[in-house]
Amino acid sequence: MAFKFNFTSDDLDLEEIDQSNELNSTLNDLSLDEQQAVDKTPCYEYDITTCTLPSAVQADILHIPNVNQPLYKRALGDVKYQMAMQDTLGNEEAEEKKVVNMLDLNSNSDLVRGVYEGGFKTWECSLDLTEYLAKLPKEQISNKRVLELGCGSALPSLFLLQHDSSNHVDVLDYNEQVIQYITLPNILLNTVLQVHASTDEQPEDEEASTEKEKAPEKEKENEDEDEENDEDDEKDGIIGENVTCDAEAELPTEHVPDMLQRISQRTRAFVGDWSGLPAIANCKYDMIVTSETIYSQDALLSLVQTIQKTLKKPDGVCYVAAKTVYFGVGGGVLPFCNLLQETKDEDGDKLVAERVFESDSTVKREVLKVIWLQ
Ligand SMILES: C[S@@+](CC[C@H](N)C(=O)[O-])C[C@H]1O[C@@H](n2cnc3c(N)ncnc32)[C@H](O)[C@@H]1O
């Protein structure tokens, strides 16, 4: 089935794993192997304090308009390196947990329905949403209980956590590996870790203690990969000029439990299908944010119902960032808004959407503000 998703899958650059297994997706065409469809993963809370982390993480630096400080997002080459180094799960356990092995994804299944839905990549609408949030008056983005649905890299959450220490931000993603390898390291990078740019200006003794010094092959590999990824990103209009240089942060083993404890005081992480969240979240949110999650017609109703069940009444606000149309899979802004209009919650209340941002790019992107209809 042709599955048009408006981006390439080059972020999962597997060329160094198998040159012959070249990914054949084009800019507007991403393949989905329906043969691999599986039952939905039930939602559960992920224990942040048990997250396995490497001794250092490498990051890209993002400068997003209106956001005062740079945001750091973990470099994909670094994730692949960690995955290659720690083959911790036996096959049976991996099968049971529906773990997707990034290193084994083949060219015919860029997405694995119900297992891996694109969360390793940072999608461009998450930049739009972060930029939009940063323009809001301070009181609208401070002291809030926030939920990010289908978070992946979680840029909006990173901004909200960084912006105001009184914000509590819960994150949810379908895929446990996305939470473990991407979302939580990103949260650490933007909250409790000391990040330094990997530039020549770094003091020599400081540089000597970095992961790079300890693993020179990794340095070379990552440099090549980062260059390729940056090129790909520019081609796709994903992060492009916003990436200025790389950065890294150390995670001394003895400090990791404390760091994880600290982030767990402001964040809960959930894994699995969002429809299971209302039953376990045990709270309502002032704000819900979600980016590039309305691409699939199949998942729209459960997303609308999840928002209805978790958004505070009467004045909770939800921001949905998305491409206007996702060709081939039936998702997009119009079907999402139609469903909002048609769907009442158990009290008979409805949500309503208003467009608050529209890009002037060829592939249109929007940010919708969704509130309770008064
Ligand atoms: C296209 S990615 C977008 C990631 C991120 N929000 C961004 O904009 O960079 C879609 C994300 O939604 C998550 N997702 C899709 N369907 C989901 C579902 N039913 N329940 C929970 N998460 C879901 C996927 O795991 C994936 O991380």
Q: Give the pLDDT band (50/70/90) at residue 359.
A: very high
Q: Whose CA is nearest to atom 7 of ligand 1?
A: 123
CA of 349 to the centre of ligand 1 (A): 26
Decide whether any atom of ligand 1 lies within 6 Å of the 124 Cβ.
no
Q: What is the pLDDT of residue 245?
A: 54
Distant-in-sequence, close-in-space partners of 374: CB < 8 Å, separation ≥ 6 = 314
Q: What is the pLDDT of residue 59?
A: 95
Alpha-carbon gap, residue 176 to 272, rounded angstroms: 8
Q: Is 78 within 8 Å of 58 (Cβ atoms)?
A: yes
Q: Whose CA is nearest to atom 12 of ligand 1?
A: 150
Decide whether any atom of ligand 1 lies within 6 Å of the 10 Cβ.
no
Query: Taking the model in full, what pTM does it have?
Result: 0.81
Tell whether the model's pLDDT for residue 260 goes beyond 90: yes
Q: Whose CA is nearest to atom 14 of ligand 1?
A: 150
Q: What is the pLDDT of residue 124?
A: 93
Residues in the chain: 374
The Cα-based distances of 209 to 78, 249, 341, 354 in angstroms read 17, 11, 57, 51
Tokens coding 341 = 């209009």
CA of 95 to the centre of ligand 1 (A): 21
CA of 321 to the centre of ligand 1 (A): 12
The angle, 0 to 180 degrees and rounded to 10, between the axes of the packed helices 297-310 and 333-342 is 50
Q: Whose CA is nearest to atom 5 of ligand 1?
A: 152
CA of 152 to the centre of ligand 1 (A): 6
Tell whether the model's pLDDT for residue 274 goes beyond 60: yes
Alpha-carbon gap, residue 220 to 55, rounded angstroms: 18
Tell whether the model's pLDDT for residue 1 goes beyond 50: no
Gyration radius of the chain's alpha carbons? 20
State the chain's mean pLDDT as an integer. Answer: 79
Alpha-carbon gap, residue 30 to 3, rounded angstroms: 5
Q: Give the pLDDT band (50/70/90) at residue 205.
A: very low
Tell whether the model's pLDDT for residue 284 goes beyond 60: yes
Decide whether any atom of ligand 1 lies within 6 Å of the 274 Cβ.
yes
Q: Give percent above pLDDT 90 in the chain.
A: 60
Tell whether the model's pLDDT for residue 355 goes beyond 90: yes
Q: Which atom of ligand 1 is nearest to the CA of 126?
A: 8
Q: Is 32 within 8 Å of 113 (Cβ atoms)?
A: yes
Query: What residue ranges do the domains of the chain occupy?
Result: 44-195+241-373
Alpha-carbon gap, residue 199 to 203, rounded angstroms: 9
Decide whether any atom of ligand 1 lies within 6 Å of the 70 Cβ.
no
CA of 66 to the centre of ligand 1 (A): 25
Q: What is the pLDDT of residue 313?
A: 98
CATH domain 44-195+241-373 topology: Rossmann fold (3.40.50)
What DSSP designation does 183 have?
I
Tell whether the model's pLDDT for residue 219 goes beyond 70: no
Higher pLDDT among residues 303 and 201, named by residue: 303
Alpha-carbon gap, residue 161 to 189, rounded angstroms: 11
Collapsing DSSP to helix, strand or coil, 275 comes out as: helix
Tokens coding 16 = 């160094």
Q: Is 286 within 8 Å of 164 (Cβ atoms)?
A: no
Tell whether the model's pLDDT for residue 19 goes beyond 60: no
